[in-house]
Structure 1
Amino acid sequence: MHDPAMDASLMEVAPLAVRVSGVTVPNSAIAIGGVILIGSLIALSAFFSSSEIAMFSLADHRVEVLTNDGVPGSQTLKALKSDPHRLLVTILVGNNLVNIAMSSLATGLLVMLGFGQGQSVAFATFGITALVLLFGESAPKSYAVENTESWALRIARPLKFAEYLLLPLIVVFDYLTRVINRVTGGRSTIETSYVTREEIQQMIETGEREGVLDKEEREMFQRIFRFDDTIAKEVMTPRLDVTAVDRDDDIDEAIATCIRSGHQRLPVYEGSLDNVIGVVTLSDLVREWRYGESDLESLDHFVEEPLQVPESKNVADLFEEMRREPVEMAIVIDEFGTTEGIITTEDLVEEIVGELLGAEEEEKITVIDETSVSARGDVNIEAVNNALDIDLPEGEEFETIAGFIFNRAGRLVEEGESFDHGAVEFSVERVDDSRIKRVRITEQHDQLAAGRSAESVS
């Protein structure tokens, strides 16, 4: 039987039309208009989401190249990336406004179409979330990753327009986020580089595996990264290996000392090496000796004031200081003012380009095979670790292979002695006046494992 009351109830729940500002609007028109608006907001959400990926994935050096080449949109792109914090706030404010507006619009639209408030909120929440994840986040971000440069150029001007449009909100939130970061002692995530030193080092190693870089290029890049973490003590020529000139020597004696040492410059001391008063250069001495018109016999006229640095000084800072002075040699002293050694600009350059061997010099590290190297006693432990891909410890009381062996033995060692440290064997190849001059270092995983097995059986 037909029930008029039920028909009236259904009409109440799902009216065919809605009066808006005194005008009756059909449900179909409301639905179509709502879908168009939501679609537009999803497009804006996609725009802001892809902008974040494109803008912050594009390296600054590429922006400089694009700007120098006069590529359209590059100037706007550079202006946006010049203030990454403001750029991030612009994108986040725009994206959040769009997403919140989309959810609110969907909820209101469903209510106007006759759904209950609870149903409208639930449908809008889950429905809009799904739409935003698929079409406002995932798809546009994937596209931006694949087309970072072209997309960044394309969206630069619209993004700049959005910054002007939302300027009041952006200024407020930009200020508030900076205040909060200062209070909490944190930094905005965007102020931290997307690329770390470790990631660059991994890319260098990948480049070697892929054949883009050869071994020598990879080692040079790695030395550049280590350069800033190296101190003077690790690079210096130690005191025992330093040849110096006595202040009381005459010019002929000083020239002879320089020639015997094979060095162009030597420190000059008074009394002992703990009192270095300067540096003399062989070319200056020879020029005066051969062509000088005066009767100068004292070295004082040729001694240049020394640059003295603590053994803990960072070598990158030292290199800059030696270039600025300019000087070719620095005297390394310890906390008590005692001379520990010397550093030349050649020593610092070798930390980047590798060993520059003289006619009679031997290489610091000679690779014997994949598991063995022969190293000078004064070689830094880190260099051996890199050569064999092992992890020998570095202590405060030693930094070289010779220091490591002395520390382990607890005494002076003799030529031919061997020591084990885990799966690494050290064989002392040459000793000169109680100093370890050459050591053979060998990985022996299989031998140690076999030895342990034999011991356990016995």
Structure 2
Amino acid sequence: MEPLSILTFIILIFLSAFFSGTEIALMTTSKHAVSSLVRENRFGARSLEIIKGNTDKLLITILIGNNIVNTASATLAATVALNLANASGLNQEQGMVISTAVVTILLLLFGEITPKTICTRYSVPIALFVAPIYRVLMFVLTPISFFIEIFLKGIMKIFGGDNFVKKISYQEVEAFIDMSHEEGEVEADEHRQMKNLLSLRDMDAESVMTPRVNVNFLDMEMTVDEACEFFLQHSHSRMPVAGKNTDDVDFMLTFREAFQLRHDGQGKKKLSEISLEKIMKIPLTQTLDDLFGKFQKSRRHMALVFDEFGGTAGLITMEDILEEVFGDIKDEVDQEEIFMKKKSDTMIEAVGSVLIDDILEEFGMRADDLEIPSEYMGETISYVVMAEEESFPTEGVEVIFGNDDEKLSLTVLSVHHNVIEKIECRKILTEEQK
């Protein structure tokens, strides 16, 4: 009788290991991994997909099996321990203490810790192997699990409903991406792009748009031929069309449409005389992830950004959003803009968006020595000229800073729609320096 009892006890320990270990394997295999296994037509994948589709019933089946096995093993161990105690002259209390200690150690070591460690490491192959077995067990235990499920649903209603779905937070996704990068599963570029993609929900249109002063607008009074030439000068694939002013923008024109109109013999027509596409308009506060969805649904690539007063704040394109994720994107019409062109040691031709700090650095000059107001530091040279003139500047306007020892001259070279495009920056030398 004793050898048979020991054999039965070993089988029960094995079954305890089976239920404990496979629970880990089945629960840690994600639904995405299961879908991939089904597409690969792996053995057991279809059964795995079915049982993972009802995790409540699966967990109930595992717990029923595990509890039956553990209860049976404890009962059997107690019986064997009492028989051994009687045969060896020990009292029943001593036999029960010994049996409890032995069963606890064996169940922990061989029924819990070891199988769970193994199944954690080899979760997918083990899950595939045991899925057909659990599919049968779930069917066999349906009468019991059915009543348990009803009971659990009643309990869940008390704690906020039985339709609870666990949502993965952005913080968890970010943590997972960081962990994958640290473990070498995700390359540095991929890690950066995924993090940038998640950050789109926290960024608004204002943060990436091209400000109005830097936007090129077509004019309703332009002819199609003039619009074509304007496209060639500025290398854009689409542009907004302004009416009375740049706050009056309702339409847009693409490079392709303009040249098609010219090809069709409508080159002399004004843009106000032809049918133009409506431009998408969005507020400054529009988040980039929502805007990206709007671009996709409407099949558009450009939107006008308006401020709280309804005026034009700037322009944003699909490319602006993509560049936030993937970095700078160059296409066949992009040209490398030259912000500063050094003509000589004392002369630089710069665009209006260059900072006054950069000009001083190039010339090796100091703002304090030139008596440049501190509030100008960190500002663009076009802002400095406009602030000094206190008006919209015209071509040829010159602003000079400095003293008898050294001077800095800023001369406006070109202006477009009240926006300074180019400025000549000169370091004026004294006779002694010359």
Aligned with residue 64 of structure 2, among 61, 69, 93: 93
Which AA in structure 1 matches 2:177? Q
Structure 1 position 163, deviation (Å)? 1.1
Query: Aligned partners of 1:136, 1:337: CA distance in 2, in Å?
Result: 70
TM-score, length-scaled by structure 2 = 0.67
Query: Aligned partners of 2:321, 2:143: CA distance in 1, in Å?
Result: 53
Structure 1 position 304, deviation (Å)? 1.0
Query: Aligned partners of 1:186, 1:126: CA distance in 2, in Å?
Result: 42
Query: Aligned partners of 2:74, 2:162: CA distance in 1, in Å?
Result: 31
| Residues 295-334 of structure 1: pairs in structure 2 closer than 5 A | 296-299=269-272, 301-334=274-307
Which AA in structure 1 matches 2:269? L
Alignment length, in residue pairs? 346
Cα 1:293–1:303 shift into 2, 3 Å: closer
User: Residue 16 of structure 2 aligns with which residue?
Assistant: 45
Query: Aligned partners of 2:151, 2:338: CA distance in 1, in Å?
Result: 62
Cα 1:57–1:412 shift into 2, 3 Å: farther
Aligned with residue 134 of structure 1, among 104, 109, 121: 109
Structure 1 position 104, deviation (Å)? 4.1
Structure 1 position 120, deviation (Å)? 6.5
User: Residue 360 of structure 1 aligns with which residue?
Assistant: 336
Which string of whole-angstrom CA distances, capped at 9 and with x for unpartnered residues, describes residues 321-360 of structure 1?
A: 2122111212233455443322211112222221124312
Matched, 1:433 2:406: no
User: Residue 119 of structure 2 aligns with which residue?
Assistant: 144
SS at match of 1:330: strand
Structure 1 position 298, deviation (Å)? 3.4
**Identity between Structure 1 and Structure 2 (%):** 28
2:221·2:270 contact (CA, 8 Å) conserved in 1? Answer: no
Query: Aligned partners of 1:335, 1:162: CA distance in 2, in Å?
Result: 64
Matched, 1:266 2:218: no
Query: Aligned partners of 2:4, 2:51: CA distance in 1, in Å?
Result: 34
TM-score, length-scaled by structure 1 = 0.64
| Residues 1-400 of structure 1: pairs in structure 2 closer than 5 A | 29=1, 31-107=2-78, 110=81, 122-123=97-98, 125-185=100-160, 191=166, 196-206=172-182, 215-292=188-265, 296-299=269-272, 301-357=274-330, 358-361=334-337
Query: Aligned partners of 1:139, 1:225: CA distance in 2, in Å?
Result: 39
SS at match of 2:27: helix
SS at match of 1:360: coil
SS at match of 2:11: helix
Which string of whole-angstrom CA distances, capped at 9 and with x for unpartnered residues, describes residues 116-138 of structure 1?
A: 77667655544433222111111
SS at match of 1:243: coil
Which AA in structure 2 matches 1:279? M
Matched, 1:414 2:376: yes
Query: Aligned partners of 2:109, 2:167: CA distance in 1, in Å?
Result: 28
1:85·1:190 contact (CA, 8 Å) conserved in 2? Answer: no
After the TM superposition, which of the residue ranges 352-361 and 248-257 deviates more from structure 2? 248-257
1:284·1:302 contact (CA, 8 Å) conserved in 2? Answer: no
Structure 1 residue runs of 5 or longer lacking an equivalent are 1-28, 364-376, 379-410, 416-427, 436-458
Which string of whole-angstrom CA distances, capped at 9 and with x for unpartnered residues, describes residues 426-452 of structure 1?
A: xx49654259xxxxxxxxxxxxxxxxx
Which AA in structure 2 matches 1:433? Y
Structure 2 residue runs of 5 or longer lacking an equivalent are 340-352, 355-372, 386-434
SS at match of 1:70: coil
C-alpha RMSD of the superposition: 3.8
Cα 1:229–1:183 shift into 2, 3 Å: farther
SS at match of 1:356: coil
